A and B are shown apart, each in its own frame.
Chain A
Amino acid sequence: MPFCARRCDYCAFYVYEKAASGLRREYLTRLESELKVKSEYCDPLATIYIGGGTPTYFSTRELREMLTMVTENFQFEAGYEFTVESNPDCLTPAKLTALIDGGVNRISTGIQSFSQGVLDAIGRPGKIERAYEAVDAIRASGIGNFNCDLIFGVPGQTISDWENDLKEISQLAPPHISAYSLMIEENTKLAESGTVEGDDELLSEMWNLAGEYLENHCGLRRYEISNYAKTGFECRHNQRIWMGNRFIGAGPSACYFDGVSRWTNPTTLASWLKNTPAVEDAVSSEQRAVEILITGLRTVDGWERFDFERVTGFDYSDIRGETICELTEAGLLVQDVNSLRLSNQGLLLADFIARELL
């Protein structure tokens, strides 16, 4: 869903600010036909995730329409997880009700920070009080499974600023937190203004603080590099993607994975509306396996040898045994007879490790 009220300074997505209702209408029409086609050869869904963009930027009517498209065209497994991303600013009671009516049982909300300075630095206007109100409203609506996004490593942010954000979020006690360190990506306002990512030492300190603080004060365990949850509240959708499961996607820039190739829809809304076909990312089955090895290693528990083999058809020791041993010796990987995961230091060096494995 490619629409937002205003583009954040760090955002590298193809999002459209304040899109006219006509364009939103075109989007919904085309989305419906894409979902219809894709639903035909689709097993019942275990998880659904609507993000983007800001789905709750849609009007209540549009939101209901979009959710109906999903529920009418697809079957869900029992105990499915259905997440929608939201922005505290536009998560009104009416939209919340629409979400629940539409089968949504998990909400993710982009709080980012409780400091006005940080919010200004990343170009995300909005009142801090809205964050508290939104979380209260989600709770009151009966949705107990929800996530709050936080951001750290913003220019000017000190370790004690970050600690303060962690303190604030712990008061709200969400069962799930995503805490991302700020990435400066190409084609963002921040990159254009010449902002660079923070010092790696400060960032690793902030990351460590997040891990300790959220564990000790909120009872949340880090289960992926940037994700923390109470046991049982992990985001199953993302977990399944990291562990190499198949998924479908719809909308501009959406990706899907058929178990062999990954596909990416045209990135711009205009080209997607014109039915431009998706682009295939075809690699050898071994390369695909390595890619899945890498994404799976982002989780703190990493891989069980047999799970990996079941998903990819390869034994990781057969294809990357030597590198795995080297990285283990370097203290970046932890190997058991039948499992493999990143060490604490390794989690912070996951890209380095990925390059070694590729």
Chain B
Amino acid sequence: MHKIDLIRNFSIIAHIDHGKSTLADRFLQHTESVDDRNFQDQLLDNMDLERERGITIKSHPVSIRFRGSNEREYSLNLIDTPGHVDFSYEVSRSLAACEGAVLLIDATQGVQAQTVANVNLAIRQNLVIIPVINKIDMQAADIDTCREQLEEILAIPADEAILASAKDGVGITEILEAVINRIPSPKRMDNEILRALIFDSVYDSFRGVINYVRIVSGGIKAGDEIRLFSSGVVSAVKEVGVFSPEMTPVGQLEVGSVGYVIANIKSPEDSKIGDTITGKVQSCDQPLRGFREIQPMVFSGIYPIDSADYEPLKQSMAKLRLNDSAFTFQPETSAALGFGCRCGFLGLLHMEIVQERLRREYGMNIIATYPSVIYHVYLKNGEMLEVDNPLHLPDASTIDRLEEPIVKASIISPVAYIGGIMNLIMDKRGVCGETNTVDQYHVMMAAELPLHEIVIDFHDKLKTITKGYGSMDYEPFGYRAAPLVKMEIKVNDEPVDAFTTIVHRDYAAARGRQLAERLQEIIPQHLFKIPIQAAVGGNVIARETVRALRKDVTAKCYGGDITRKRKLLEKQKEGKKKMKQIGKVNIPQDAFVKVLKSNTS
């Protein structure tokens, strides 16, 4: 038997929270790949942000060894993927390194929108799918409905499903046996020339670019001279290794396996996710099929609080992009905020995560502007402009019409909430499409909605209306004309361009009021009163005031208190430094994200 026949590459995919990372934990423990001492729940979620939020943000590869009931020892490369819709690009890239996928379905929730979306991704890549019904330990588990949904919605034979509880470790061996028996080993290649697909990467300040690869043909070891196909950069390999789950050097990465490659690549621009690594001397003629370029849907400006940080900010973004290729950025300027970058994201959560990562991993002090989508602006002279920054909207008198991006949403929900969901869709300027029953309790609804509305708070509202059971997936669905206007916000009588937004004329007053009210809560009191106004075409449509600060004093200061008090004041002062001064007003960094959250409450 050839070595490659004992390799299995698979991802764990599911809707958010269905238990992927918990199942990965059980795999790691069952195969004794981690010490009990080092174990913690959702072990692979190793970013601070993942642990804090209890969700997976990045795909995490890990290699484990498993002895099957046939007494053969297999090398399993598994990738735990995120479930949130904003990170589906992570899933699709992970799948490109695999021959199979373990599909989890939470027995209490059934098939949800990202279950469908991720299954479609796996099918598109011709992967073998192993369906697993998880959380069967729970009282509310409804296994029969899950089985019915598997067949009805996903066209997967229900008898293929394995019952499991990732929490209690039920069904783990059965799943691993299915992995070795149902998922094929990587294809053997006659070709000996190195071809490795870069499916992810990170920037390490000491070692430069670290590429995560799937070896498609040939092999790679330290000392080899390699070429990155699209950039043409040539470099010597310093280390190759596997994830166990921390990076562990190995002698050689062989065909079919998944691991990492560290070469001498110091500039983030030289490496690109989706590129092919090949030999310097023996090069392949054709790169591997990479990944489709992902189009960001949501845009927002990110600016350094201190303008001297502009260059470091750009460098940090380049490094971050190595690890998050769905994020894009290019330079722009703002009257209020100076030099910064217009950044593209897949959604609001993605936007928040990128901002947080820039803050935490790169120590950047940043402020982000109100998010926007890409509008199509048709001018009277026949020209069409794409505008991703409301500031660049041309004068209203030159505009013939404005079109906004539309998405086609597919919503899965228990039947009981249909009415509420329809109202929500209408509220959000959407059009309801077909409603199909999936099983006796659930429906799948189609709707067309302006992307901008989805960006704002559609998803949270859907969750509230459906008590957490509704889920949604969406894809771009062209553009549609709408009576859109530019709304400006003035703080202390100065227009703050970073808050400028494009809104539907009929919704302008309400949105303006919300924004002004929310800003009034977010902007801290100053020594003077701060008027906040929302205006469309010069007409003020909403007005609020932040009252002047009258009292800011600690009542009591005795001898035992002085050190503690000084430290507290110093800390508060640091906090203030992190705010952006616009005119005479200090605005907190997270104002723009918080303003958005308002609408959800």
A residues within 8 Å of B by Cβ?
Answer: 51, 178, 180-183, 200-201, 203-204, 207, 225-226, 238, 241-242, 247, 249, 253-255, 257, 262, 264, 281, 291, 294-295, 298, 330, 332, 347-352, 354-355, 358
Contact = CB atoms under 8 A, between A and B. Distances in A.
A173 B58 CA distance: 69
Contacts of A51: 558
A349 B553 contact: yes
28 contacts: A181-B551, A181-B555, A182-B555, A183-B554, A200-B525, A200-B549, A201-B547, A201-B551, A203-B550, A203-B551, A238-B558, A241-B559, A249-B559, A255-B559, A255-B560, A255-B562, A257-B559, A262-B563, A294-B566, A298-B557, A332-B527, A350-B552, A351-B553, A351-B569, A352-B553, A355-B572, A358-B566, A358-B569
B576 interface: yes
B556 interface: yes
Contacts of A355: 569, 572-573, 576
B525 A351 contact: no
Given A200-B525, A291-B566, A358-B570, A347 B559 contact: no
B529 to A, nearest CB: 12
Question: Closest 5 CB pairs between A and B?
Answer: A180-B555, A200-B551, A241-B559, A204-B550, A281-B563
Given A200-B550, A200-B551, A254-B560, 6 more contacts: A201-B550, A201-B551, A204-B551, A225-B557, A264-B564, A349-B549
A352 B549 contact: yes
A225 B553 contact: yes
Nearest to B572: A355
Contacts of A330: 527
A253 B550 CA distance: 32
A241 B558 CA distance: 8
Nearest to A151: B555
A259 B527 CA distance: 34
A225 B558 CA distance: 12
A352 B552 contact: yes
Interface in B564-600: 564, 566, 569-570, 572-573, 576
A358 B573 contact: yes
A351 B549 CA distance: 12
B561 to A, nearest CB: 8
B562 to A, nearest CB: 6
Nearest to B560: A255
A253 to B, nearest CB: 6
Nearest to A347: B553
B95 to A, nearest CB: 47
A203 B550 CA distance: 9
A323 B564 CA distance: 23
Contact of A255 (B553, B563, B569): B563
A350 B564 CA distance: 16
B562 A291 contact: yes
A249 B560 contact: yes
Contacts of A242: 557
B566 to A, nearest CB: 5
Contact of A253 (B547, B552, B560): B560
Contacts of B550: 200-201, 203-204, 348
A181 B553 CA distance: 10
A354 B554 CA distance: 11
B520 to A, nearest CB: 15
Given A249-B560, A254-B560, A348 B573 contact: no
A225 B569 CA distance: 17
B527 to A, nearest CB: 7
A142 to B, nearest CB: 27
Nearest to B526: A352
A299 to B, nearest CB: 11
Contacts of A295: 557, 562
A262 B559 CA distance: 10
Nearest to A261: B563
Contacts of A204: 550-551
> In the complex, which of the residues B551, B561, B562 has the most CB atoms of chain A within 10 Å of its own CB atom?
B551
A51 B555 CA distance: 17
Contacts of B527: 330, 332, 349, 352
A43 to B, nearest CB: 17
A349 B569 CA distance: 13
B555 A349 contact: no
A351 B551 CA distance: 9
A281 B553 CA distance: 23
A358 B565 CA distance: 12
Contacts of A238: 558-559
Contacts of A255: 559-563
A294 B562 CA distance: 10
> In the complex, which of the residues B558, B559, B561, B564 has the most CB atoms of chain A within 10 Å of its own CB atom?
B559
Contacts of B562: 241, 255, 257, 262, 291, 295
A348 B570 contact: no
Contacts of B560: 249, 253-255, 264
A347 B555 CA distance: 10
A130 B422 CA distance: 66
Given A255-B563, A355-B569, A180 B551 contact: no
A241 B551 CA distance: 24
Given A254-B560, A255-B560, A226 B555 contact: yes
Contacts of B559: 238, 241, 247, 249, 255, 257
Contacts of B572: 351, 355
Nearest to A288: B566
A238 to B, nearest CB: 6
B549 to A, nearest CB: 6
A358 B174 CA distance: 64
B555 A225 contact: yes
A203 B552 CA distance: 10
Contacts of B564: 264
A288 to B, nearest CB: 10
Contacts of B525: 200
A298 B558 CA distance: 11
Nearest to A238: B558
A257 B570 CA distance: 20
Nearest to B555: A180
B483 to A, nearest CB: 42
A60 B558 CA distance: 27
Contacts of A225: 553, 555, 557
Contact of B552 (A201, A241, A294, A348): A348
A207 B557 contact: no
Nearest to A224: B557
